[in-house]
Amino acid sequence: MTLKQIQEDILKLKKQNDVILLAHYYQPIEIQEVADHLGDSLGLSRLAKEANTEYIIFAGVDFMAETASILNQDKRVLLPSSEACCPMAAFLDENMVKEFRLDNPGLPVVTYVNSTAAVKAESDICCTSSNAVQIVEKISKEFNTNAVLFGPDANLGDYAEEKSHIKCIKCPPQGHCYVHTLLTVEDVKKIRQEHSNAKFLVHPECEREVRHLADFVGSTAQMYNKVKKSPSEETQFIIGTELGLLERMAQDFPNKKFYLAKDKMICYNMKKNTIELTKYVLEHLDDPTFEVKVPSEIAKRALNPIEKMLRFSKI
């Protein structure tokens, strides 16, 4: 069966079975092409909450499907590959959050959505790379403090601290995304020399020294929109995030040229979802193997910090 045939079957099966397919920008391009919605963590969180279908297939990693389950306890949330996990989320567990609270009484816990449901349940508010600065500013004001606890990504916490001037105590100090920390200052200098007219766009999960070399720092969706709104004379872009976003933009903006900041910027965990698995899930929607269901007790507690993030993001 050809790729085109598989994609056509997916489109038919979605329509027949009341399914919405949400896909992150880091997913394989062939999955992006058949998704109902593409986005970053914040955009997809909002779409998950608004979903009015019986089934949600989340082409992403486990924490994203968990978030959809927290927001939609009455729906079936399916993840094509049970191996599509986020190593960053593994840096922080719920017991560590409790310990950080004990060591830092009175400070609010800001948890990146790249975290487990159990960690979210121990948090005061969640954030994404799109709104981390805004969330840190607002929650510190609410708690009347000049510091917050921030985890699990130390680089995003550093970025939020740098922009908000509010101390972000990293929980834990070594938490990171293995894709974004691959990118070094030497890599950036090399590719900027090779493409001297290109604008350099980078994700805030990258290290501070790399971010300081960028023309623009933002989430995947913010980078996408930056290119979308760029003037016609800006035709070349170096993309400092996962390959999937570059592939998406190359398709959507054929008049512009894109260069990956480093060849190895590929999230192999995101790529565990395949087009074949996506079709298989659609053919076996009631197979419990694919369902991601956050227990109701955890979901209830995790819902508050997620909904608070969504409210704060609108203000």
* 164 and 232 assigned to the same domain: no
Q: How many residues does the chain have?
A: 315
C-beta of residue 295 within 8 angstroms of C-beta of residue 118: no
309 lies in a domain? Answer: no
Place of tokens 């480093």: 262
142 lies in a domain? Answer: yes
Of 176, 206, 231, the residue that ends a domain is 176
310 lies in a domain? Answer: no
* 201 and 160 assigned to the same domain: no
* 157 and 204 assigned to the same domain: no
Name the domain count of the chain. Answer: 3
| Exposure class string for 180-192: b at 16+ Cβ within 10 A, else e | bbebeeebbeebb
Q: 112 has which bridge partners?
A: 127
18 lies in a domain? Answer: yes
* 50 and 15 assigned to the same domain: yes
* 145 and 189 assigned to the same domain: no
Sign of CA dihedral 234, 178, 68, 300: negative
* 51 and 64 assigned to the same domain: yes
CA distance 136 to 138: 6
307 lies in a domain? Answer: no
313 lies in a domain? Answer: no
Residue 197's domain is classified under what CATH number? 3.40.50.10800
By residue range, what is the domain housing residue 69? 3-85+270-295
Q: What is the pLDDT of residue 42?
A: 67
* 202 and 171 assigned to the same domain: no
> In angstroms, what CA-CA distances link 225 with 14, 40, 113, 258, 311?
28, 12, 21, 14, 22
* 151 and 224 assigned to the same domain: no
Q: What is the pLDDT of residue 188?
A: 98
Q: What is the largest CA-CA distance in the chain?
A: 60
Of 159, 176, 193, the residue that ends a domain is 176
C-beta of residue 200 within 8 angstroms of C-beta of residue 170: no
Q: 39 has which bridge partners?
A: 24
304 lies in a domain? Answer: no
Q: What is the pLDDT of residue 160?
A: 98
* 200 and 224 assigned to the same domain: yes
pTM for this model (two decimals):
0.93
Q: What is the pLDDT of residue 43?
A: 77
Using 50 as the pLDDT threshold, list the residues of the chain that sit under it. Answer: none
